[in-house]
A and B are shown apart, each in its own frame.
Chain A
Amino acid sequence: MLFYTAQRLVLSVVIVMVAVSILTLMLHVVPGDPAVMILGPRATPELIERTREAMGLDRPLPVQILMFFANILRGDLGEDVFTGRAVSQIVFEQLPYTMILISVAILWSAACGIALGAYSALRRNTWLDTLSGVVSVGTISIPAFVMALYSVLIFAVWLGWLPAIGAGDGFLDGIVHLILPAFAIGVAWVGYIARIVRASMLEVMTQPHVRMARAFGLPDRRITRSHILKIAVLPAVTLIGTGVAHLFSAAVFVEVIFARPGIGALLVGAVNERNYPIVLGAVLITTCIIVLATLISDLVVALLDPRQREDI
């Protein structure tokens, strides 16, 4: 287990490094001066010169990438070209908003999805099973940003029940402002998770260890809870782990549509200003989180599933 963890950890770090190299290289693949490209057409010559120096653009490319890595290790992601503030500070100011949003979204949808999937598997071919199948397919086919638009339209504009703008002030107001965005991101996940939990429960239910538990006369509830469900949720854990990238993509739209602060809103703003250091910093941090989430979900699966633990 320890070896497996170490191996996966090293691989994750390498993947992040390759990802960063790709992003840095992209700046140089396209023709033109990166400094001019970053600053846009309105930049003064002095500003261009300063940026070129600050980003080390006057040095050879491999040196630039190495410098960037060295800076990352010191926690330095560079400076915002317009305000001169540290990019890491700007990014980490916005990060909590996005993390809270996607955590709440995935938590409520995982809870509903697992419950719905488990119920459908236990009560196959009942009306609720059929309904959950239809609703799953329906919600999966609606992209998050379309769902966000409909949430605004129905619950904020037509019914006027919930606020649609901003993140709110204070704890309670913050929660009220979180409901619609978290709903919009999570809805499709309820369907995904329900479908995968249902399929994997049906599979686990036919396995020898469940028949064994039944033969020992364990009560049904206990078999379902600790022998079927515990293993059947594992594919859902993997799905969520690899789906964090999609959650971030959805968060970009939801933050723009609901005018919330966060990484997504920061990114869109930075792209409009062509502020590449901020874009690079934000992409770097999200990529790290995504790689880390995949790693954690793999480790959780390895820990929870005794069959997989023996293999590694």
Chain B
Amino acid sequence: MSDAALPEPTLLARSLRVLSGNRTGAIGVVLVALIVGSALLAPWIVPYDPAAIMVGPRMAPPSADHWLGTDNIGRDIFSRVIAGGRIAMLVAAASLSAALTAGLALGLIAGLGPRWLDNLLLLVLDAVRSFPVIVFGLAVDTIIGPSLFTVVLVVTITSVPIYARIVRTQTLALKNAEFILAERAMGVGMPRLLFVHVLPNVLGPLLILASMDVPLVIATEAGLSFLGMGVRPPTPSWGVILNDGYNFIRNSPWPVIGGSVPIILVTLGFTFMGEALRDIFDPKLRKGG
């Protein structure tokens, strides 16, 4: 192939080219920037205190004062949605970074450790994966009670198996790669092998997967909070807003609409962005058809 002779384009150049030719990728990046930005700036951009009651009439439709209307006790839905985004992003960031770290560690141990340990870990990971996330979350809730921490814990535990498996597969493949064998023959130590050769090769696919998992995490948080088993009222979470909306669904549709639209936008945004990331980092993975 003559491609090998061409100079490798820089990452930035490749990113820009993929994004300019990929409309959904660009939409994804814009949506993610919008949501992450509003979550970071939430305390400064909310028009009302998200927990303050009776800042307007009860269950009012959208107006110039209340962009998404008000809920059953007169709280401003728009402010609550923005503040809920902060909770959602917090849960996603905390649980995904914990899951990535644990997955990396377990995957490396399984890939590089002795055979029996590998088999044991695989068995435990498969067992954890066979729990439905919400059902497992409910079981954990029974024991330690509902809280923001419970949600993070549940999401972390249920996400670890997928990451650990990917790291394990990549590590096993690398373990016998020629350049690793050569390094080992030259007397390079394990830490250097891990941090210089194995980690960078494993991290790429892992981060792409994590980006595509953000919507799942957010749906889990919202779902558990909706059931009253996650973030507790009065903390505004999208799930809590949806639960309020469900209880008064016959009186006003706005809490349900306000609480659900951001979930849908987050899902679209991170999915599109994840697909674009995959194209940028690993064109081989791109699916035809």
Contact = CB atoms under 8 A, between A and B. Distances in A.
A287 B136 CA distance: 10
A291 B130 contact: yes
A153 B142 contact: no
A231 interface: no
Contacts of A252: 132, 134-135, 138, 227
Interface string A8-47: 0000001110110011001100100000011000000000
B131 A245 contact: yes
A191 B133 CA distance: 21
A15 B271 contact: no
B289 A268 contact: no
A280 B144 CA distance: 15
B110 interface: no
Given A27-B143, A145-B223, A199-B289, A287 B131 contact: yes
Nearest to A148: B246
A238 interface: no
Interface stretch (B80-88, B94-102, B119-127, B178-186): B119-127
Interface stretch (A51-59, A136-144, A171-179, A214-222): A136-144
Interface string A228-263: 000000000000000001101100110011000000
Given A146-B264, A287-B130, A249 B227 contact: no
B interface: dominant SS: helix
A246 B242 CA distance: 20
A268 B245 contact: no
A257 B268 contact: no
A15 B130 CA distance: 8
Contacts of A253: 134, 223, 226-227
B287 interface: yes
A202 interface: yes
Interface stretch (B11-19, B33-41, B43-51, B248-256): B248-256
B223 A143 contact: yes
A203 B288 CA distance: 9
Nearest to B253: A153
A30 to B, nearest CB: 6
Given A19-B127, A149-B256, A267 B289 contact: no
Contacts of A267: 135, 138
B141 interface: yes
Interface in B35-91: none
A4 interface: no
A199 B249 CA distance: 39
Contacts of B215: 141
Nearest to A275: B142
B263 interface: yes
Contacts of B144: 30
Q: Which 8 A-B pairs have the closest CB atoms?
A: A141-B267, A18-B127, A249-B134, A143-B219, A19-B127, A245-B132, A248-B132, A249-B132
Given A18-B127, A253-B227, 13 more contacts: A14-B123, A27-B143, A145-B242, A150-B260, A152-B249, A153-B253, A153-B256, A157-B253, A245-B129, A249-B133, A252-B132, A268-B138, A294-B130
Interface of A: 14-16, 18-19, 22-23, 26-27, 30, 37-38, 137, 140-143, 145-146, 149-150, 152-153, 157, 198-199, 202-203, 245-246, 248-249, 252-253, 256-257, 267-268, 270-272, 274-276, 279-280, 282-283, 286-287, 290-291, 294
18 contacts: A14-B123, A18-B127, A22-B128, A30-B144, A137-B268, A140-B271, A141-B267, A145-B223, A149-B246, A149-B260, A157-B250, A245-B130, A252-B135, A267-B135, A270-B142, A276-B142, A279-B138, A279-B142
Interface of B: 123-124, 126-136, 138-144, 215, 219, 222-223, 226-229, 242, 245-246, 249-250, 253, 256, 260, 263-264, 267-268, 271, 287-289
